[in-house]
Structures are given as C-alpha cells and as structure tokens.
C-alpha cells in the first residue's frame, strides 16, 4: 500500500526528472521554486484578509436568480427568506464567499449562455468590490448525461456510463475538453465532475449511470482521461464521491448510507479511480456523506472523518489539492450534528471548501465562533484559503481579468465543431443487447409507433421530452413515425391507448426509464408484445431495465435521454450507424441476482 500511496509524489518526481534531463539541476529546481514564489504571492493576499474574509473564502453557497444584482421579485423573496439577502451580490458582500454554484430549474440561475455570462460578470464585479478583492471560483455540476445543468445552447455530451460503454479514453478526454472549454468561456471554472464511483450495485439510487461502470481499473482510466480534458481546458476538475459511493442502496440526500466493504474490498473496488485521478493531477476531490467502518470505526460520515480525509486521502493517497464537501444540505451529513457544527467538523476533518450550506448564516457564524474560541486556528484557515487561491491562480482568475466576453461565448458555447464531435462520440456508445431474428435495423418506410417516458431531452427545457425528441430524430432520418408519450408510470388508460395505437403498425419502439419490479412500464411492454407487432425496446437511462422485461425481440441502451444520445440511438435503430457500445456493467437476472443475464462487455453489432 505504501508504494501506491506515493502516486502523486511519483508524478511530481517524474516531472522533476524530465526537467533535469533537459535543463540540468537548475531546471529541476525551477518547478518547486516557482511553486514557492507563487505561494509567497498568495500568502501576501491572505495576510490582507480579515478573519471574516478568510472564512468566507471557504464557502460555496447557492442563490436564486438569473442576475447578480436584479433578479426577479420572486427570486429576491426566496433569497431573502433563505439567505437573508436579496441578491447574490449582497450575499458576496455580506459573507465574502469565495465561490458560488449555479443550478438550473429550482434556483433559476440558468437560461441561456449569454445570460450565464452576464450573471458571471455580475458575480465577479461583486467579488472585486470586497475589501480584499478576490475573484469568485464559480462552480457547477455539469456531469453530462443524467446530470446536466446547462442544457439548450451548450453542447450536450454522453454521460459517464455511456462513455464507459464506448470504452474510448480519447472520447472521454475529448468530452471533458469540450465541456471544459464551454464552461471556461462562461466563466465557470470549477466543475464537480467526473464521478469516480464504481457502480457495483444495480439498485444504487444515486450513482447508477453517473458512474463509468463496474470495473475499477476501467473506471479509473476514464476518470483520469476526463480530469485531463477538463483541466486542459482551464477548468478545475473534481473527482467524487470519496471514498466511494458505488455500492449503496440508499441515497445520501435522504439518509446516511453505509459502505460495508472490507479494507481489502475498498482497496480493490473503490480506491483505484481516486488513485488514478490523483496520478492525473486532479485539482479537487469531493467527499461522500456516508459511513465506511473499514476506514473509520467511529462511523463518522466521511465528510466529517479525520481518519478518512487526513488519514487515507491526504496521508495514504498523497492528495494535497482542495477537498470539497458534497452539498451540506443533504441528510447524510446532518443526521448527527446541527448545521452550525457540520462545517466546523468538516474543516477539522480536513475539508477546504464548504458546499451548499442549508443556512449560510448559521454555518458562517458556526465557523466564526469556532475560530474565536480557538477550536479552529487561524493557521488552519490559512491552509484551506491557500489551497483555494492556488486553484484560482491556476485557472487565471488572479493573474488576468475574471470577466467573460459575450463574443467569446457566442463563438465557443455550442459551437458546430463541438456538436459534431459530441454526435460522433455518442454513436460509439449505443449498446445493442438483443436482436432476435435480425429485428433491427428497422427499414425507413416501416410505419413506426414510438411510446414511452417523458424525461427532458434538453435539460432546462421541459417542453422537449424523450419520445417527441426521438420522433424528431427519426423524422430527420426520413422515417415515418407517430408517437405517444406514456410517461414513466403509465396508468391503465394510457397503456390501453398505446396498445390501440400499435395495431396496424410495422414496429413499435418503446422507451423505458428505470424499470423495477413494481413499475407499470413492465405492463406496457408486456401488452405491446402481446399485440404481435415487433417491439424494439430502448432503455433511455438504466441498462438494468432489460432484466425486468422478459423476452423482447430487440433491446438497446442509450444510457440517457438527452438529445445527443437519442439521436445516436435513432441512427442505430434505423441502420444509419452500427451499434458499437459494450455494457460497462453486468446485468443480473431480476428473479435471480446471483445469475448474470448479460456480462460486462456484452454488445452486439449488426454483423453478429
């Protein structure tokens, strides 16, 4: 274990050897000397900060509204009720926060790229108006696939499990580079991606297709590739959720999961992707709100565990970058302590960034009280502030203008070259599981009915949903289709309507989304099969759906319902492209989980 724990130091040592081989000993010493010079410069910034400003640098809160200074009246009301201020500019002024996080939907931070750019510039103006002006490190959860914040206007890319199915490190790296380039153009310099969890539990309610797969080494390679892509684009990558969230049956948003892996199992299953991320130079790592008794017998949540964060992550794995908490509003970290104590205990455990406190005033004052009492020293604050400023300096926030250009946003975000690359990557991910009697590909002139769920094909645009978007993709390929959205939980009337619509058709394409034993989607598929019309099944998220559906003549997986993945699936179904993906996870039988229905690596082509 000692040899493996030196991964980051080995990378740094290798860089020194390369420098020495080309420029001699003076060159070998240049990198550490430059780092010391940088830290001295950053220390002078820290020395000008008050205690309050230092504490503020650690927080990354949410807020409501599309504007930094003039959000809607409703968003101002929400901000006042939950944050005690009307705008994010007031939030920054009051608490000196070091960063903020953007959300779509409920927080109403995201409409389109130009608006995001304006919001970013407003956030940075507020940050530079502080007594010690330091630009904000603006963050987001833009994982792609099932977890996307910026939808229409930005390039949509396949998510982690789809990339795992494609199996191409080059594609994973390119996806990170494209996404990172667009985020950087919007002034968003920290992305809480990639997911480094190994999804070995098919019933995992929180990770699932957000993971690259079930093979720890393969996941590690994909994580390292994405880290490289994001960070080449000038965006801070974040491997999450340490020490591993892939084998849980409980969602840490609503409870405190327990990972029952032995230490040996943790080393074999959970640790490799984080080791790979560290070896790739990942800038930040996010903690998980779960218990791992094999790593900390006290059963503290990992986010609050010195044994896990200082002992394992910093000590054994050698990580010296920024440790960020998962959202502090999640139930998993609030089961034992109050909201004033959670951030204090997280800092004492080794955390640097405090993400999404449920009550910024309570959390901030809790840390301030701990500093005044001596429970947290000013030197401890300085450690975390220095790490955070290193990130800001690395992505250019401290050496150049933090503002973004609308012209650059128009040129980069959603660029045609990015969309073409995304479409090509997606075509390499669609996985064909079953194709009895060459049921696929469908012919162009066949009369097709599309039925199924209603997930948003474009994140942030609820009007463009799975089945209509899939129908649009078929129509653009010159195929004759009609469609009927039956939803994720079709009732008897909707199922009857689908069965009636299927009669007289040459084929039915039915999409499913997270089928389980109680799902009425099973009834829909069964009734459609009984019509005698050939049925093509497309799992638009979960590759495990097929285990619940019985004998379908053809079944594919797209791993998500977004526009880029649906278009790729339509091309495969119509024979415009070959299915090239392979399962990155095994699919067990629903009636006997000990037996494998389709092993990892399974994937058919039309030549089989």
Burial letters for 172-211: b for 16+ Cβ neighbours within 10 Å, e otherwise?
bbbbbbbbbbbbbbbbbbbbbbbbbbbbbbbebebbbbbb
Compute the distance between CA of residue 83 and CA of residue 140 in angstroms, rounded to an integer.
19
DSSP 195: B
Compute the distance between CA of residue 464 and CA of residue 473 in angstroms, rounded to an integer.
12
474, 462 in Cβ contact below 8 A? no
| Half-sphere exposure (Cβ direction) of 296: Cα atoms closer than 13 Å | 23
Strand duo 139-140 + 190-191: pairing? parallel
Compute the distance between CA of residue 239 and CA of residue 330 in angstroms, rounded to an integer.
19
Q: Two tokens at 510? A: 């039915």
| Half-sphere exposure (Cβ direction) of 490: Cα atoms closer than 13 Å | 30
Compute the distance between CA of residue 608 and CA of residue 604 in angstroms, rounded to an integer.
6
Q: Two tokens at 209? A: 């297709």
Compute the distance between CA of residue 125 and CA of residue 341 in angstroms, rounded to an integer.
32
566, 483 in Cβ contact below 8 A? no
User: Which residue has tokens 């991606």?
Assistant: 193
Q: Two tokens at 171? A: 């594609």
Compute the distance between CA of residue 500 and CA of residue 495 in angstroms, rounded to an integer.
9
DSSP 339: T
- Burial label, 470 (beta-carbon count in 10 A; 0-12, 13-18, 19+): buried
Helix (H) or strand (E) holding 372, with range, is: helix 360-373
Helix (H) or strand (E) holding 456, with range, is: strand 456-458
Q: How many CB atoms lie within 10 A of CB 459?
A: 25
284, 355 in Cβ contact below 8 A? no
User: Which residue has tokens 């410069």?
Assistant: 41
Q: Which positions are annotated as active-site residues?
A: 326
244, 291 in Cβ contact below 8 A? no
Helix (H) or strand (E) holding 565, with range, is: helix 563-573
User: Which residue has tokens 């070091």?
Assistant: 98
Compute the distance between CA of residue 323 and CA of residue 341 in angstroms, rounded to an integer.
18
Compute the distance between CA of residue 366 and CA of residue 381 in angstroms, rounded to an integer.
14
- Prior bond of 494 cis (ω within 30°): no
Compute the distance between CA of residue 586 and CA of residue 153 in angstroms, rounded to an integer.
35
3-state helix, strand, coil in the chain (%, to 5): 45, 10, 40
């Amino acid at each position: 274990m000692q040899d493996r724990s030196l991964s980051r130091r080995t990378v740094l040592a290798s860089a020194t050897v390369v420098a020495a081989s080309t420029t001699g000993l003076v060159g070998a010493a240049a990198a550490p000397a430059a780092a010391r010079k940088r830290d001295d410069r950053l220390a002078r910034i820290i020395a000008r900060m008050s205690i309050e400003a230092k504490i503020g640098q650690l927080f990354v809160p949410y807020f409501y509204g599309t504007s930094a200074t003039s959000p809607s009246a409703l968003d101002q009301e929400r901000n006042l009720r939950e944050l005690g201020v009307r705008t994010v500019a007031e939030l920054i002024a009051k608490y000196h926060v070091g960063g903020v996080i953007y959300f779509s939907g409920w927080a109403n931070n995201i409409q389109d790229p130009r608006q995001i750019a304006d919001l970013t510039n407003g956030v940075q103006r507020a940050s530079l108006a502080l007594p010690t002006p330091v630009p904000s490190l603006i963050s987001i959860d833009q994982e792609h696939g099932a977890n996307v914040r910026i939808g229409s206007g930005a390039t949509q890319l396949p998510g982690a499990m789809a990339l795992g199915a494609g199996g191409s490190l080059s594609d994973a790296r390119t996806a990170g580079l494209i996404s990172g380039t667009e985020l950087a153009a919007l002034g968003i310099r920290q992305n809480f991606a990639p997911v480094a969890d190994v999804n070995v539990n098919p019933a995992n309610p929180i990770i699932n297709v957000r993971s690259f797969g079930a093979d720890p080494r393969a996941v590690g390679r994909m994580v390292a590739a994405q880290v490289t892509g994001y960070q080449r684009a000038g965006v801070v990558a974040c491997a999450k959720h340490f020490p591993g969230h892939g084998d849980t049956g409980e969602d840490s948003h609503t409870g405190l999961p327990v990972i029952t892996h032995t230490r040996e199992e943790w080393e074999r299953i959970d640790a490799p992707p984080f080791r790979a991320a560290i070896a790739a130079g990942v800038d930040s790592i996010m903690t998980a709100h779960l218990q791992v008794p094999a790593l900390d017998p006290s059963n503290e949540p990992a986010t609050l565990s010195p044994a896990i964060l200082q002992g394992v992550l910093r000590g054994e794995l050698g990580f010296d970058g920024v440790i960020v908490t998962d959202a502090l509003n999640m139930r998993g970290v609030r089961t034992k302590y109050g909201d004033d104590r959670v951030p204090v205990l997280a800092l004492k455990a080794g955390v640097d960034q405090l993400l999404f406190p449920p009550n910024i005033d309570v959390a901030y004052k809790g840390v301030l009280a701990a500093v005044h009492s001596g429970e947290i020293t000013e030197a401890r604050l300085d450690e975390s502030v220095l790490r955070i400023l290193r990130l800001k300096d690395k992505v250019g926030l401290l050496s150049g203008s933090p503002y973004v250009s609308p012209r650059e946003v128009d040129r980069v975000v959603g660029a045609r070259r990015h969309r073409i690359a995304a479409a090509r990557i997606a075509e390499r991910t669609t996985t064909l599981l079953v194709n009895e009697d060459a049921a696929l590909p469908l012919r162009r002139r066949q009369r097709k009915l599309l039925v199924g769920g209603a997930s948003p094909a474009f994140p942030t645009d609820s009007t463009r949903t799975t089945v209509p978007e899939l129908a649009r993709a078929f129509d653009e390929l010159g195929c004759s289709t009609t469609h009927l959205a039956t939803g994720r939980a079709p009732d008897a009337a909707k199922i009857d309507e689908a069965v009636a619509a299927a009669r007289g058709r040459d084929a039915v394409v039915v999409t499913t989304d997270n089928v389980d034993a109680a799902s009425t989607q099973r009834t829909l598929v069964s009734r459609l099969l009984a019509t005698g019309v050939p049925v093509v099944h497309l799992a638009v998220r979960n590759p495990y759906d097929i285990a619940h559906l019985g004998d379908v003549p053809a079944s594919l997986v797209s791993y998500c319902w977004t526009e880029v993945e649906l278009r790729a699936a339509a091309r495969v179904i119509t024979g415009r492209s070959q299915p090239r993906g392979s399962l990155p996870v095994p699919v067990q039988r629903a009636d006997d989980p000990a037996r494998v229905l389709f092993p990892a690596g399974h994937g058919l082509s039309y030549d089989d």
